[in-house]
Structure 1
Amino acid sequence: MENHLNSLSNSNSNSNSNSNSKKPRAIIIAHPLQGHLIPTIQLAIKLASKGISITFINTENIHHQITTSNPTAIDTDGGGDIFIEARNSSGLDIDYMTVSDGLPLEFDRSLYHDQWVGATIHCFPAHVEVAVAKIVRSKPLTCCLIVDSYSVWASKVAKKFGLFHVSFWTEAAMVLDFYFHLHLLKENGHVGPGSNARNDTIDYIPGISSVKRSDLTSYLQEEDLTTMSHQCILPSMEDTKRADFILGNNVHELEAQTIEAIQKTTPFYAIGPLFPPGFTKSPVASSLWAESNCIDWLDSKSPSSVLYISFGSYAHISKEELEEIANGIKLSRVNFLWVIRPDMVSSDDLDPLPIGFRNEVCDRGMIVTWTCQTSVLSHRAIGGFLTHCGWNSTLESIWCEIPLLCFPLLTDQFTNRKLIVDDWKIGCNLCDEKPVKREEVSQKIKDLISGSMGYELKDKIKGVKRILENAMTTNGSSDKNVDSFINELIGADINKKST
C-alpha cells in the first residue's frame, strides 16, 4: 500500500506547477459506494476549479473496480490515476491516492454486507490516518478534511491533524433533518421498538411540515436499531453534527424550509446538483461496472417511447418483486432499456429474470448489466424512468426532464419518493401498496409513456428543472454557496493560524 501511495502521490505532485504550492489544500475521502463516489468526484472537480488544491483518497477496492471496468479511460502507466484527464485538460490541481478498506480485493462486499460495514468502521480509519499523516507532512498548507457524512471517524481524524472537518452530504436535506432530530422521533415513538404500530402523521420535525413513518429512511423504519448498519449510520450522524461545515449535494430552493432549519444549528451549504461538466461525460472515470453502449439502439426508437429501468448500484430487490415487475413490463408492450447489475438479487443469482423473458421481449427491449445513466436519460428516446429513487438518479432525471415511476428499496429512497411524488409531483408510485403486482405495473408504465399521466408529470418537471438551472448559474444560489464556503474556510484557517 505504501508504495502505491508514493507512486501516485509523487507522480501527481510533479505535474503541479510551483504556483500551486501556496494554495490551501483539501483532503477528500470518498465513501466506497458508487452512488456516493460519483458526486464526491464532482465535488473535487468543483473545488479544484475554484482554486482549491485537492488530494483525493479512494479505497483500493473501488479503484480496482474502476480501472478494471474503464481500462481505456485510465492512465495505467501512471498507476491508474483516474484524475489524469481532468488534470491535463483543465489544469486542475488534484492529487490521487488509494488506501485499503481493510478487506482483500477479492472479498465479496455485496454478499457479505455486515463484514464490509464492520471494516469501514474499524479498519478503514486506520489506513486513512496513515494517508492523512503523509499528506499533512508533505503538504503543510492542508486545511480541511472533507469526508462523506456516513463516516463515524471523520471528526476524530480531523482533530488529530488540526484540520477543519467538512462533512459531505450526498442525499436530500430532509434525510439529514430526520437524523439530526432522531431524539424527537424516538421520544414520540415513531422510531425504535414498537414503532411499526404507528401510522399517525409526524409533524414535529423542524423544517418539515409533515411526513408519514413510511417516508422515513428504511433504517429508521426498522424497530431494531442495533444492526451493523445502524452501528455505522447513527454514530456517523452524530459525527456529522460535530463538523465545522456541511456541504450538501442539494439545491436550496428545492428544500428551502428544511435547509434553513438545519442552518440554525450547523453551517450547511447547498452546492448541488454536482454534475460533470457537460453532464453526459465526466473527465473522471467512476463506473464500477463496464458500461454497455445503448445509444445506437436508442437512436432506432421514436422520441419519448422508451422506458428506462434501473434500481441503482447498491440496493437489492427480491426475486419475487423482480419477476412481477418483469411480467408487468412484458404486459405493457412498451419499449424498454433495463439495467440489471450482476448482484441485483444476489451475487449467487446472476440472471434472476423469469425463464424465457429475454426471448419474449427481445423485439422491444434491451437488457444490460450497466450503462452511462446520464447519456441514457438525456437521449430523446427516453420517455420515463422506473427507478429506485436514488438521489443521483432523482437529480439527473429532473435535469433531463424525465418523469419517474418510483419503487424505493432502501435507505433514503423512501424519503426521496415522498419528495418526488408528494411534494414536487414529478413522479408516480409504481404500486400504491405492496406487494407489487404485474397488472398495476403494466398500467402505470403505459400511463407514463403514452398516457395523460406522463404529459402532466413532464409539465411539472420542467418547472423543477428551472430551479436547478437557476441555482447553477453565476450568482445562482449553489454557485454563491460554493464561494461562501471557500471564503469561510480560508478565513477560518487564517484566523486559526494567527492565534
Structure 2
Amino acid sequence: MKNFHVLVIPYPAQGHVIPLMEASRCFTTNGLKVTFVNTDFTHKQVINSCSGPGIDGPSDLLQMVSIPDGMEPCDNRNDFGKLTKTMFQFMPTKLEELLNDISKNDDEKITCIVADYCMGWVAKVARKMGIRLAVFCPSSTAVLALTMSVQKLMDDKVLNCKGIPLKDQMIQLSTSMPFMNPANFLWVCVGDSTTNQIIFDFLILGGMEAAEAADHIICNSTMDLEPGVFSMFPKMLPIGPLLATNKSTRQVGHFWNEDSTCLTWLDQQLIRSVIYVAFGSITIFNQQQFEELALALEDTKMPFLWVVRPGTSGHNIDYVYPNGYMDRIGTRGKMVSWAPQQEVLNHPAIACFMSHCGWNSTMEGVSNGVPFLCWPYFADQFFNKTYICDIWKTGVGLNKDVAGIVTRGEIKSKVEQLLNNNILKENALNLKENVMDCVEVGNSSDKNLNKFIDWVKEGNDKVGASETYI
C-alpha cells in the first residue's frame, strides 16, 4: 500500500520552521507521511533541541532530513541577502537529488510538496519533476497578499521595477484590508540596499510565482483574524492557529533548548501579575537600549519573565546589566535564554506580552488571550503591530524618542496604560475565543485542513494511475 507522502520545506529561520513543524504534525495526525527538509545547519539546531519531556521528535510518519544551503560552515547566516541568494542558486539541485532518491522506492513516492512561499525556487523543481505543489504562509496572510500584489503595485506606479516605493503614502490592497506603509515593506527594511534588492528579487518575486503556481495556499491564520485577505484571495486556506495540540505535547522546531525552570517560577506568582518579555530569534538591541529596558522593568515594580538570548551568531553582543541590577531585582525578575513560549503564554500568571510582533508570537499571544506591548523590529512585524493595536485592539505600541530609543519612561507608562485598560484585555479574551473556535471540529480551520488533506490523498490516487508524478 502506498503512503500519502508529503515533502515539507521551510525557509531556514525560526519563525518559519516552527509553524511548518506544527502543520506537519497535523498532516501526520491525519495519516499523511511527512519528510521535513531543513538545511544542514538548521537541521542540527532543531534535532539538538528536540529532547525533553513532552517533546516528540521524528516518528514513523515524520522523518527529518537535510540538504546543504550552499554556504560555508563559518559563514554568517544572519546575512539574509547572502543566505537567500546562495540557497536559490545551490539548493534546487540538491532537492532534485533528494526527490530522486525517495522515488527509488515506489511506495515512498512524493504525492505533493508543501513549500514555504519564501522558498519560491521550489516551485520550479516541482514543475520540472511533475509534483503537485502547495505553498505555506508562515506570516500573516496580508504579507503574502502584498507579495502577490507586487505586479499590480508596479503597474499602478506605487513601486518601480526594483520594488522601491515611489510614493510616501499609505496604501490599501483592498478596501477591506488595513493600510500598509511602503517604508515597512519586507524588502525595503531588512538591510542595506543590496540585501533589500536580493530579498525582492528572490523572496518576493519568487514567492509571487510560487503562490500563483500552487494548487493550494495554506496559512497559519484564521478567517476571523484576516477576513479581508481571504475574501480577496479565496485560494488561501487558513488552518490556524497552529499550536502544540495539548498540554502534554511541547512545541517543536526550536533552534535553542528551552529553559523550563521559568514555568516553576511562574507557578509562584500571582494571577495576571507577570510581564512576559520576548523578542524572538532575530531582534538585536544595542547596550543603551538593553539598559533602558532593564531599568524600565525594574521601575514597574512588577514581576517579569525576560528572554535574553545569548550572543547571536553574526552579532558580537554581550549584554551587561546595570550596576547592582541583579541584587535589586532579586527573585522578582526571571531571565532565561529561551522559553517554552506557548506554555508561558498559557500560564495564568501572565498579565501581558512585550513582543517584537513576529507572526508566531502574535498567533500564540492571541490564542491565549494575552494583551500586547508592541515593539516591532523589522519587516512584517510593523504590519502585525497594526493588526494588534488598530484592528483587533488588543495591545498598545511602544514609541521611540528622537534618538531612536524606547525609553524606560515610555515602557513604564505603556505597561500601566495597558494593564489599566479593561477594554483591551476584554478584546484579547474575546479574540482568543473566536480564534480557538476555528480549529474545533467542523469549523473553518478544521474544514480547510480536511480539504487540504483530501486534496493530498486524491493526488495519491492519481499517482497510482499515472506516471506524471514521481
Q: TM-score w.r.t. structure 1 length?
A: 0.83
The answer to whether the 8 A contact 2:43-2:65 is kept is no
The answer to whether the 8 A contact 2:353-2:371 is kept is yes
Identical counterparts, % of pairs: 26
Does residue 288 (structure 1) correspond to residue 263 (structure 2)? The answer is no
User: Following the alignment from structure 1 to structure 2, what is the Cα–Cα distance between the partners of residues 367 and 261?
Assistant: 43
User: Following the alignment from structure 2 to structure 1, what is the Cα–Cα distance between the partners of residues 182 and 325?
Assistant: 33
Quote how far apart the aligned CAs of 1:291 are. Answer: 1.6
User: Following the alignment from structure 2 to structure 1, what is the Cα–Cα distance between the partners of residues 331 and 390?
Assistant: 36
Aligned residue for 2:145?
177
Aligned residue for 1:447?
417
Shift in alpha-carbon separation, 1:64–1:470, aligned structure 2, 3 A: same
Aligned residue for 2:68?
100
- Encode CA deviations 1:419-462: one digit per residue, 9 max, x unaligned: 1111000111022765422211111123334xx22x22220011
Quote how far apart the aligned CAs of 1:351 are. Answer: 2.1
The answer to whether the 8 A contact 1:280-1:375 is kept is no
Q: TM-score w.r.t. structure 2 length?
A: 0.88
Letter in 1 for 2:83: W
Q: Give 3-state SS (helix, strand or coil) of 1:219's partner.
A: coil
Q: Which runs of 5+ in 1 are unaligned?
A: 1-20, 76-80, 88-92
Picking from 389, 408, 411, the partner of 2:357 is 389
The answer to whether the 8 A contact 2:21-2:252 is kept is no
Shift in alpha-carbon separation, 1:354–1:178, aligned structure 2, 3 A: farther
The answer to whether the 8 A contact 1:387-1:408 is kept is yes
Aligned residue for 2:407?
437
Aligned residues: CA RMSD:
2.9
- Encode CA deviations 1:261-282: one digit per residue, 9 max, x unaligned: 112xxx2211111111105733
Q: Give 3-state SS (helix, strand or coil) of 1:156's partner.
A: helix
Letter in 2 for 1:62: T
Quote how far apart the aligned CAs of 1:353 are. Answer: 4.4
Deviation larger for 192-201 or 468-477: 192-201
Aligned residue for 1:480?
447
Alignment of 1:230-249 (within 5 A): 230-238=200-208, 239-249=210-220
Picking from 229, 232, 243, the partner of 1:258 is 229
Deviation larger for 463-472 or 336-345: 336-345
User: Following the alignment from structure 1 to structure 2, what is the Cα–Cα distance between the partners of residues 308 and 392?
Assistant: 15
Quote how far apart the aligned CAs of 1:312 are. Answer: 0.3
Shift in alpha-carbon separation, 1:71–1:476, aligned structure 2, 3 A: closer
Aligned residue for 2:86?
119
The answer to whether the 8 A contact 1:189-1:195 is kept is no
Alignment of 1:157-196 (within 5 A): 157-188=125-156, 190-191=158-159
The answer to whether the 8 A contact 2:147-2:205 is kept is no
User: Following the alignment from structure 2 to structure 1, what is the Cα–Cα distance between the partners of residues 275 and 150?
Assistant: 38
The answer to whether the 8 A contact 1:315-1:344 is kept is no
Aligned residue for 1:50?
30
Aligned residue for 2:169?
200
The answer to whether the 8 A contact 1:213-1:221 is kept is no
Does residue 426 (structure 1) correspond to residue 397 (structure 2)? The answer is no
Quote how far apart the aligned CAs of 1:50 are. Answer: 1.4
Aligned residue for 1:90?
none
The total of aligned residue pairs comes to: 458
Shift in alpha-carbon separation, 1:64–1:250, aligned structure 2, 3 A: same
Aligned residue for 2:21?
41
Aligned residue for 1:336?
304
Quote how far apart the aligned CAs of 1:324 are. Answer: 2.7
More helix by share: 1
Aligned residue for 1:16?
none
Higher relative contact order (CA 8 A, sep 6+): 2
The answer to whether the 8 A contact 2:51-2:57 is kept is no
Letter in 1 for 2:21: I
Deviation larger for 487-496 or 124-133: 487-496
Q: Which runs of 5+ in 2 are unaligned?
A: none
- Encode CA deviations 1:374-424: one digit per residue, 9 max, x unaligned: 111111111000000011111111121110000111121111111111100
Shift in alpha-carbon separation, 1:269–1:118, aligned structure 2, 3 A: same
